[in-house]
């Protein structure tokens, strides 16, 4: 089993923003969810692991492959599949031509073998029937599935997908999730996202980061268990929301059927107008961010 070991990773941009602050994470084989709000440092971490930018200090190693991700960049690129946040495509080129081109770049030089690999990947991401179509005609979901196909070229051992479902409609998200879930065993998949459901649907391990710091890491189900019995809810009139936020540890508020419903973190009942609710990963996420604030 592969394990990516990140130790003390820090990065400050020239403008003074400290995007990563002593990040230490152990990422085992399987699907790992990196959850955090916009600006948390997720893309910085993903790009650093994908050899696209430098960290100031720290280390990232896959011991079983004797691989130092921050130093052995050519070797890392050989085992890496990366789907960046903005996956730019040439709109006037067909999916098949583009993927063939990426395959050449990955070192698949034998034409017959390359065609087999390209066809198999297009089948796998369900784009074979539209392979002659120009990428510019693809929907967001189709483009993301094309992005996964290129990320899977060369049988990578480390797959990094950065905010893959932002902008996808619900049906496309489900298709994309199913595709990710099928990616082989013995592979490390890091899924960076600000969408809690992406993690609860797919990941057996996770971390929450904010302001460049790791706030928690572990098993999503255990994290939900750990806050069991401490999440309470009630509907509040909109104009009283601020008062509740002052008096209670309000971790989230949302409109449900036109009413504002707050979730409060409390070890005992915060008042008889509150009712206990089954904790969800969203409650884990918001209470973790709340306690760090």
Binding residues (CB under 6 A) for ligand ADP: these are 13, 15, 17, 19, 36, 38-44
Q: Could you tell me the smallest distance in angstroms from the CB atom of residue 45 to ligand ADP?
A: 7
Choice between 17 and 105, CB closer to ligand ADP: 17
CA distance 210 to 37: 7
C-beta of 11 vs 131, nearer to ligand ADP: 11
SS3 per-residue string spanning 131-197:
CCCEHHHCCHHHHHHHHHHHHHCCCCCEEEEECCCCCCCHHHHHHHHHHHHHCCCCCEEEEEECCHH
Rounded to whole angstroms, the Cα distance separating 161 from 128 reads: 22
What minimum distance in Å lies between the beta carbon of 198 and ligand ADP? 14
Q: Is 136 exposed, middle or buried (0-12, 13-18, 19+ CB in 10 A)?
A: exposed
| Distance (Å, whole) CA 292 – CA 78 | 38
Least Å distance, CB 17 to ligand ADP, is 4
Q: Is 76 exposed, middle or buried (0-12, 13-18, 19+ CB in 10 A)?
A: buried
Q: How far is the CB of 40 from ligand ADP (least distance, A)?
A: 4
Output 19 or 62, the one with its CB closest to ligand ADP: 19
Q: For the chain, how far is it from start to end, CA to CA, in angstroms?
A: 36
User: From the CB of 52, what's the least distance to ligand ADP, in Å?
Assistant: 11
Q: Which is nearer to ligand ADP, 39 or 140 (CB)?
A: 39
* Under 8 Å between Cβ of 212 and 18: yes
Other CB atoms closer than 10 Å to residue 256's CB: what's the count?
10
Q: For residue 228, what is the DSSP state?
A: T
- At 138, give phi and psi (nearest 5°): -75, 145
Residue 14 or residue 258: which is nearer to ligand ADP going by CB? 14
Tell me whether residue 29 or residue 144 sits nearer to ligand ADP (CB atom).
Answer: 144
Q: Give the nearer residue to ligand ADP in terms of CB position, either 127 or 208.
A: 208
CB of 279 to ligand ADP, least distance (A): 24
- In the complex, the smallest distance separating the C-beta of residue 185 from ligand ADP, rounded to whole angstroms, is 28
Q: Which CB sits closer to ligand ADP, 51 or 100?
A: 51
Q: Rounded to the nearest whole angstrom, what is the least distance from the CB of residue 238 to ligand ADP in the complex?
A: 29
Euclidean distance between CA atoms 7 and 287, whole angstroms: 25
Q: What does the alpha-carbon distance between residue 85 and residue 143 come to, in Å, rounded to a whole number?
A: 12
The rounded Cα 122 to chain-centroid distance in angstroms is 23
């Amino acid at each position: 089993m592969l394990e990516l070991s990140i130790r003390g990773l820090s990065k400050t941009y020239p403008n003074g923003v400290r995007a990563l602050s002593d990040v230490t994470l152990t990422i085992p084989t399987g699907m790992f969810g990196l959850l955090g709000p916009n600006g948390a440092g997720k893309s910085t971490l993903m790009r650093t692991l994908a050899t696209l930018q430098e960290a100031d200090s720290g280390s990232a190693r896959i011991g079983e492959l004797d691989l130092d991700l921050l130093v052995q960049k050519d070797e890392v690129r050989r085992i890496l599949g990366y789907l960046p946040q903005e996956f730019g495509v040439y709109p006037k080129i067909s999916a098949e031509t583009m993927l063939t081109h990426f395959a050449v770049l990955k070192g698949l030089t034998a034409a017959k073998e390359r065609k087999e690999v390209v066809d198999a990947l297009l089948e796998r991401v369900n784009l074979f029937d539209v392979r002659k179509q120009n990428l510019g005609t693809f929907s967001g979901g189709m483009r993301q599935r094309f992005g996964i196909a290129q990320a899977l070229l060369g049988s990578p051992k480390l797959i990094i997908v950065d905010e893959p479902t932002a902008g996808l409609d619900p049906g496309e998200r489900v298709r994309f999730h199913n595709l990710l879930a099928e990616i082989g065993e013995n592979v490390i998949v890091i899924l960076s996202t600000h969408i809690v459901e992406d993690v609860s649907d797919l990941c057996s391990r996770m971390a929450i980061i904010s302001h460049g710091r790791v706030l928690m890491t572990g098993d999503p189900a255990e994290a939900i268990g750990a806050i069991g019995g401490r999440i309470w809810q009630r509907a509040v009139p909109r104009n009283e929301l601020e008062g509740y936020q002052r008096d209670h540890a309000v971790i989230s508020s949302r409109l449900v059927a036109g009413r504002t419903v707050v979730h409060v973190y409390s070890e005992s009942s915060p008042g008889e107008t509150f009712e206990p609710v089954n904790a969800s990963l969203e409650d884990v996420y918001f209470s973790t961010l709340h306690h760090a604030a």
